[in-house]
Amino acid sequence: LYFSAQEGILFFYHIKGLQYEMKICADILQPISSLTFSPDYTVLLLVTDQGTVYTYKPAHSGEAVKLLDACSSCFLTADFLTPGDKYCVSVTISGEVQVWFLEDGTCLSKLNLDIEVHIT
């Protein structure tokens, strides 16, 4: 079980029967607004309240890596484009939808919806 705290810390709970063990996986120093696993569960996308997107690879137990930084408009959320875990799609408050290459954060495509977006 992965979850985040208001302080920007990503936690992992290993639960087995009535026993559990908690581990701090990453501290990104910004509140995390959403967590999304890739379809094969190898990569976790973390989106912060400030609109920055990080990747975290549970199998590597390393730090979260900043992938995308909010520029003119904050990222509201991001998700993987399936199949696979090489690309993600994001949407900003201003209504810009973007497709990203996860390996290096290259923006491959963008579309402006010309409306303000809200996540409910």
Residue 71 has pLDDT above 60, yes or no: no
Mean pLDDT value of segment 37-55 = 86
pTM of the complete model: 0.72
Residue 72 has pLDDT above 60, yes or no: no
CA separation for the pair 17, 49 (Å, rounded)? 34
The CATH classification of domain 2-112, taken from the options 3.40.1190.20, 2.130.10.10, 2.60.40.1220, 3.40.1280.10:
2.130.10.10
Residue 80 has pLDDT above 80, yes or no: yes
Residue 119 bridge partners (DSSP) = none
**Cβ contact 33:23 at 8 Å:** no
Q: What pLDDT is attached to residue 114?
A: 87
Q: What pLDDT is attached to residue 119?
A: 72
